[in-house]
Structures are given as C-alpha cells and as structure tokens.
Amino acid sequence: MAATESALVREALHCCQGIDGGRFVAFDNGTAADTGRFACGSGVDVSPAQRQLISKITELGWLLRKVKELTAQAAAQESVVHEALVAACNKEVNNCCRLIAILEAQYQQQQQTTHTTASSNIGPLSLRRLVVWLAEPQQRLRVLASCLDAAVSLRGGQVINALHAMSKHGDPLVRRAVGPLLEETCVPFFRKLSRWILDGTLDITFSSGGDFMIVQQQLGSDHPASVWRAGYALDSTMQPRFVTPELAQRVLTSGKTVAFLRECCGDSEWAAAMAHAGSIPGITDSSNGGTTLQRLKWLETTAADVGATVGSRLLDVLMRRESLPAHLAAVRRYVLLGQGDFVRTLLDLAGPELDKSAKDISIFSLQGHVETALRSCGAAVADSDLLRRVQVKLNRALDGDCGWDVFGLAYSLDGPAAAVLSPEAMASYGRVSRLLWNIKQVDHLVAQAWHDLDNIGHSLATLRGLEKEFGIDAAAVTGDVPALLRYLHAQRADMAHFVASLQAKVLYEVIEPAWAKLEAALRAAATLDEVIAAHEAALQAIVEGTYLDGPGSSIASSGVGNTRSSSNSGIMNKNDGTTAGSSGSFGGGNASDVHAALRAALRAVLNIAGPIRRVADAVELAVVEQQTFLKRAKESEATGEWNEEVYNSPQGVSRELLAEVRSGAWRVHSAFDRHVRTFHALVPQHSHLDLRWLSSRLEPLDAGISAAAGGVRSKTTSAS
C-alpha cells in the first residue's frame, strides 16, 4: 500500500498530538511504555528516508504522551510545588500543541489552494520541513520529560534543587527550557517564605507533606524554652541550593521571632513596627514577573530588615515588660547567694532545721525561713513578684545525709523570660546553689568553731581567776587543754584559710567575672539567640569554675558528703568526728575527681566540729564544777558545817578525754591534709580553668598542714 507525501504529513501531524495517524502511521506499544513509538506499518510502501523522517517527527507525539503521563503523576502528589511544576509544563505543552495546530491549519490551507498532480506528491509542507519546524519543541518536550521524571519522586525544595541543577546545563537550549520551569516552581516557595518571615506562620497545606525547608516540631511541652529552641527547625533536605545556610538561618530566626512574639508573648504590636519591612517591593511584585534572582535579593533584604525589627521588639518585650534583667539579678542574689544579709539571716534561721537528718526536715518550715529572711533583709524592698519566686529545692536524700546535703534554693520562672532561664539552666543553678550552701555551711561551722575555741579560752581565764582568788590548781583542772587549744586553733585556722580561699575564688574569679560578661553581653545583644548564648556561656563558666562539669557530678550528687562507697559511709563518728569510709584517691584528675576531692575536703572541715565541741563542753563543765564547789565551800565556811561534797573537790578535765580528742582531731587533720593535697594536685591539670590563684593560695596551706601534722603526731606518740 503506497502512501503519498501529503498523506504522511497529515498522519504525522496527527501522531504529533499523541494519537494514531490513521491508515499508515500508528503507535506501537512495544514491550514497555518507554519503548513505545509511532511508526509506519510494515505493509506501507514508503522509502527508508521517509520512514526515518516519520520516526523523527512522531517522537514528538511519544514525548507528549510521556509528559502528560508524568504530569498526571506529579499532580497526584498533592504538593503546591508539583502543582506549579505541572502548570509550567502544561504551558509548554500548550505552546507545542498550538504550533502543531498552526502547522495543521497550514496543511489544510495547502490542500485547498494547491492543485497538483497525483504523481508529484510534492507540497509546500513536507516531512523534511516538519522535522525542522518541530526540532526545537521536540527538544523542549524532551527536557520537560527529563525534569518531570526526576521530580515526580521528589518533594518541595528537592524539586527546586533538581531543576536548579538542570538549569546549569551546558546546552543553552536546555537552560532556556528549564528556566521557566524553575521560575514557576519557585513562586509558591517564595510566597511561603514571605508569609513565614512577615507573619511567622506555616501553611499547613504546604508544610504537612514536608515540602518546606522550615518545619514545625511536635513538642511534648509548651514551655517557652522548648518553643524557642525546638519549636521550629530547618530541614536541610528541603533547602534550595541558592539559599545559603546563613540566609536560611536568618529566615528561620525572623519567622520564629514573629511566631514567639505572637504565641508566647501575646504581642501584636510588632506588626506596626514591621510596616516598613512589609512594604518593601518584593515577593508580591516579583512573583508575577520577577526572576528567582530578584526574589532572592528581596529575601536577603527582607530577612535582614524583618529580623532586626522583630528581634529588637522581642528583646524590648523581654527586657522591659518581662523584666529579664531583674530575674537574672534575683537569681544572682538569692540562688547564687550574692545577697549577704539574706544568706546570714537564713543561716541563722534554717540552721537548726538543716542540722536534722535529710529525711526529717520539713520543706514548709524551710520555705517559711526563706520568706522570713527575705522580709528581714535588704531584699524586702525588692519587687514582691521576684521574692515569691525564690523557693526551697531539696535534692534526693541518701542514707546518712543531713539537711545541708540536700538543701538548695531555686527560682521559679514562667512566661517568655523562661526561654532564657530554661529548666536545664535552672537545674544547673540548683547544683551550684547546693554547693554554695555547703560552702556557706562549712564557713558558718568554722566561725562557730572559733567561738567555741574562744569560749574555751574564756573558761581557762575564769579558772586562772579562781586560782588567784581561791588558790585552786588550774593546771591540775585543765591538764593539757592549753596545748590542745593551741593546736585546735592552728587546725581551725588552716581550715578557715582553705574555706576563705575557696569562697574568694568562687566569688571573685568565677561568679563575678562571668556575671559581668553576661551583663555586658545583654547590653550588646541584638537577638534572643545572642542573649541565650551569653547566658549559657556565663552559666557554663560558673559550673566549670565550681567543678560541677564532670560526668559524675549529676544534679543528684552535687551536695557535700555524697561521695560514698556504701550506705553507711559519710556518717560522722561519735567519738572523734571523722568520716567513715573516706578516701584520698580520686582517679585520674577529671573535673568530677576535682569536685569529689573538694567535697571530701569540705566534709573534713565539717568533722572538726566534733572534737572542738567536746573540748568546749568538757572545759565548760569543769569550770561550772569548780565554781559550784567553791560556792559550797564558801557557804560551808560561813555556816561552819562541812560535808563530804566540800571535802571531795572536782577532778577537772579527764585526761583520757583529752587524749581521745587529740587522737580524733589528729585523724580529722590527717584526712583534711590528704584531701587538700589531692585537691591541690588535681586543680593544675585543668587547662580550661584559671586556677592559678587558688593553687598559689593553697601552696602555703599545704606546707603548713604538713608541719602541723608532724608536730601533733609527735606529741600524740609521746603522750601514748
């Protein structure tokens, strides 16, 4: 069956529309969809050249079918990016169909106006001319099919990235074909960016399928710290390549700030403040006619402008309305014990309660003491809203713990300012607070020990006065008490020096410098992230400076005296005040080892109270007994009646008691010596901590302890 050129042109034009030509050309499905093609039937009498031309021309129809099939798959994705891509592809398909319609109209006109002989089969519109006319549309459809094939399995920003990569192709025709697709596909993306930056909202229909580079996280809590830090995040897989990481972060921060102002601060005045930023010519204009480059420039400008505007607004809300500096100052004064009169008053009020076992103390009584201390000191003039937030926080009690081991102060904060003072930050403050209270307890005990020793001195002076007045033998009454008193004074002085050096280091080298840097950073901060970073840096410096940054120093083990190897270790011995199970070895020198050595040294200082108290009680009792005896003797002399009580004078201070106290004090001193040496040896190993001043303060103490320990050891040996 012979086919004329005119008939082949007519059927080729039909095949270019994706339908069978009729008598001569039809679609051959082949073995698979991709291998299908239009071709002349085997019984059609055409030349090889014509058959080849038909194959080239009708490839356009196969591509048209392929593009329609892929656009149907893309349209089923329920994604606005795919919708934009499908719309752009449909434009190209319509342009191609329009050209085919024009060619078909030209063919019809040719058939009506041309009168040629049947044998010539030659007309103005030939197969060769169709190949030339359809070459560029065919190439564009081929590019469209490649783009759709690559994008149909991708989503959102991934589609944009795939098109962006193809737009960098070396073939100019490919770039011209991909360019409009990329521009159209970017329109919903930039529209969404515009809404996010200016309104802080995410389009659910856009983001639910994971199309957008910013995603809203599912949070288990609506705490402001969680909302700000984890409420929204960047999805790098959906981030277009032409959006730099820095720009993406600015976009995230700008929209997140707007959302935080609306959701957590209840503030809508930022809209007026953003009026200038929102009126910048940008997405509204460029989406209708602008290029991706123009939109990108708008994005850079708007993200910076809006970020600065709403960032300043958020800081103004936090600093002025939410009084963040006042909250931080309250934490510094009450949790970190910067208010001296409050600390002293609370020590006096809560001391008896904290001396009890940790399981017997009452948190309600302690909270009452805290409120009383706040009212009775300079804090009473502060804002009542700040004072009511200071609360007692008790750590988990272990066997043998007293109230001091678990006591700490916490600051309860809600509202937007809690984005800075997060629960994790307050937990770290709690650990520091418990350590500071333990140091204050030791300092209070050292001061009380001085009063006890001073009372012993007064008691000895009273005995010497009785000796002058009544002729009693004061030396026989007191025995070796004066020598023991001098030793205990020296021991207490060493411990007081250690505690004072430690307090000075913590206050003047850790807390004050860190807080000064924080206050300076707050004044210079431009965003909430900068405020949070400055606060966390200051808090980390305080945690490291107080040796609480080791892996073993959890919140539950930050109190003094919690370094136990068994349930009974750490309990004070009744006779000499030493601690059972104490050890001087703390491993290889990490931060937890330094903290353990510090806690052990503080526990040793606590243990000196036992020996000193026993001597004070014994000497006081001896003075009372002597005074009572002399009073009765004087009364008997006046009445002339003598009895056995007058003849039997008091025995004075027991020599066995003094020997026992001396031995116990020596053991306390040895334990303190061992722990201070360990602490002194470990602190220089921490290159990240500036401990040179503390180390230099401990060097003379280390030498003095060794000399004192040697002297008392020789005296103890000779006495025994």
**pLDDT, tens digit, 9 for 90 and up, residues 550-601:** 543 332 333 333 333 332 333 333 334 443 333 333 344 456 777 888 888 8
287 and 202, same structural domain? Answer: yes
Whole-angstrom Cα distance, residue 242 to residue 184? Answer: 16
Helix 156-166 and helix 135-151: axis angle, to 10°?
A: 140
Chain centroid, CA 455 distance in Å: 52
> Of 153, 186, 206, at which residue does a domain stop?
153
Reduce the DSSP state of residue 409 to 3 states and report it. Answer: strand
346: in domain: no
415: in domain: no
547 and 492, same structural domain? Answer: yes
52: in domain: yes
- Residue 139 CB burial class (10 angstroms; 0-12, 13-18, ≥19): middle
454: in domain: yes
Q: Identify the pLDDT of residue 150.
A: 85
Q: What are the beta bridge partners of residue 392?
A: 409
Q: Look at the block and give the residue holding tokens 């510090």.
A: 598
375: in domain: no
Specify whether the CB–CB gap between 705 and 669 falls below 8 A. yes
Which residues neighbour 586 within 8 Å (Cβ) at sequence distance 6 or greater? 593, 594, 596, 597, 600, 678, 682
> Which residue type sits at 103?
L
Reduce the DSSP state of residue 568 to 3 states and report it. Answer: coil
Please give the backbone phi and psi of residue 315, each rounded to the nearest 5 degrees, phi first. Answer: -65, -35
558 and 593, same structural domain? Answer: yes
**538-549 burial code (b ≥16 CB/10 A, e <16):** bbebbbbbbbbb
452 and 587, same structural domain? Answer: yes
Residue in 28, 90, 89, 35 with CA at minimum distance from that of residue 54: 28
Question: Encoding tokens for residue 5?
Answer: 């050129």
Please give the backbone phi and psi of residue 452, each rounded to the nearest 5 degrees, phi first. Answer: -65, -45
Specify whether the CB–CB gap between 140 and 92 falls below 8 A. yes
Number of domains in the chain: 3
Q: Identify the pLDDT of residue 272.
A: 56
> Of 263, 296, 321, at which residue does a domain stop?
321
Q: Where are the alpha helices (DSSP H) in 274-323?
A: 275-278, 283-289, 292-316
- Residue 232 host element (H or E): strand 232-234
> Which residue type sits at 287?
S
Domain limits for position 517 = 422-616+653-719
263 and 125, same structural domain? Answer: no
SS3 string, 592-628, reads HHHHHHHHHHHHHHHHCHHHHHHHHHHHHHHHHHHHH
246: in domain: yes
553 and 449, same structural domain? Answer: yes
Which residues neighbour 89 within 8 Å (Cβ) at sequence distance 6 or greater? 67, 71, 74, 144, 147, 148, 181
Q: Where are the alpha helices (DSSP H) in 471-480?
A: 474-478
Dihedral of CA 432/437/442/446: which sign?
A: positive
512: in domain: yes
Whole-angstrom Cα distance, residue 580 to residue 70? Answer: 80
Helix 423-470 and helix 591-607: axis angle, to 10°?
A: 30
Residue length, the chain? 720
141 and 189, same structural domain? Answer: no
Question: Encoding tokens for residue 484?
Answer: 């023991």
Whole-angstrom Cα distance, residue 240 to residue 212? Answer: 10
Whole-angstrom Cα distance, residue 229 to residue 232? Answer: 8
181 and 76, same structural domain? Answer: no
590 and 442, same structural domain? Answer: yes
Q: Identify the pLDDT of residue 244.
A: 87
Whole-angstrom Cα distance, residue 84 to residue 238? Answer: 16
Output the DSSP codes for 164-199. HHHTT-S-HHHHHHHHHHHHHHHHHHHHHHHHHHHH
SS3 string, 685-718, reads HCCCCCCHHHHHHHHHHHHHHHHHHHHHHHHHHH
Question: Encoding tokens for residue 227?
Answer: 């909302």
Question: Encoding tokens for residue 180?
Answer: 């409009």
Per-block mean pLDDT, blocks of 10 residues, the chain (720 long)? 70 74 59 53 65 77 83 81 86 86 82 56 70 85 86 84 85 85 85 85 63 83 87 87 88 89 80 52 46 77 83 90 92 91 90 89 93 80 82 86 87 91 92 89 90 86 76 69 88 90 88 94 92 94 81 34 31 37 42 79 88 87 79 71 59 80 88 86 64 60 52 47
State the DSSP code for 411: E
Specify whether the CB–CB gap between 390 and 404 falls below 8 A. no
Residue in 676, 663, 662, 667 with CA at minimum distance from that of residue 705: 676
544 and 474, same structural domain? Answer: yes
- Residue 166 CB burial class (10 angstroms; 0-12, 13-18, ≥19): buried
195 and 149, same structural domain? Answer: no
Q: How far is CA 266 from CA 160, 216, 429, 536, in A?
A: 36, 19, 28, 26
Whole-angstrom Cα distance, residue 597 to residue 607? Answer: 15
- Residue 572 host element (H or E): none
- Residue 210 CB burial class (10 angstroms; 0-12, 13-18, ≥19): middle
Whole-angstrom Cα distance, residue 348 to residue 346? Answer: 5
- Residue 267 host element (H or E): none
Whole-angstrom Cα distance, residue 363 to residue 348? Answer: 16
> Which residue type sits at 331?
V
Please give the backbone phi and psi of residue 37, each rounded to the nearest 5 degrees, phi first. Answer: -160, 160
- Residue 146 host element (H or E): helix 135-151
> Which residue type sits at 366?
L
> Which residue type sits at 46?
V
Q: Where are the alpha helices (DSSP H) in 505-587?
A: 512-524, 528-545
Q: Identify the pLDDT of residue 155.
A: 82
333: in domain: no
Residue in 671, 504, 510 with CA at minimum distance from that of residue 583: 671
Question: Encoding tokens for residue 577?
Answer: 């005040």
Residue in 583, 621, 717 with CA at minimum distance from that of residue 662: 717
Dihedral of CA 462/465/466/471: which sign?
A: positive
The Cβ of residue 351 has, within 10 Å, a number of other Cβ atoms equal to 16
218 and 89, same structural domain? Answer: no
Specify whether the CB–CB gap between 85 and 159 falls below 8 A. yes
Specify whether the CB–CB gap between 258 and 310 falls below 8 A. yes
Whole-angstrom Cα distance, residue 575 to residue 606? Answer: 14
Whole-angstrom Cα distance, residue 691 to residue 501? Answer: 11
Q: Identify the pLDDT of residue 719.
A: 46
Q: Identify the pLDDT of residue 111.
A: 75
Reduce the DSSP state of residue 439 to 3 states and report it. Answer: helix
Query: What is the C-alpha end-to-end distance of the chain, expressed in Å?
Result: 135
Whole-angstrom Cα distance, residue 636 to residue 307? Answer: 95
Question: Encoding tokens for residue 580?
Answer: 């059972």
State the DSSP code for 355: T
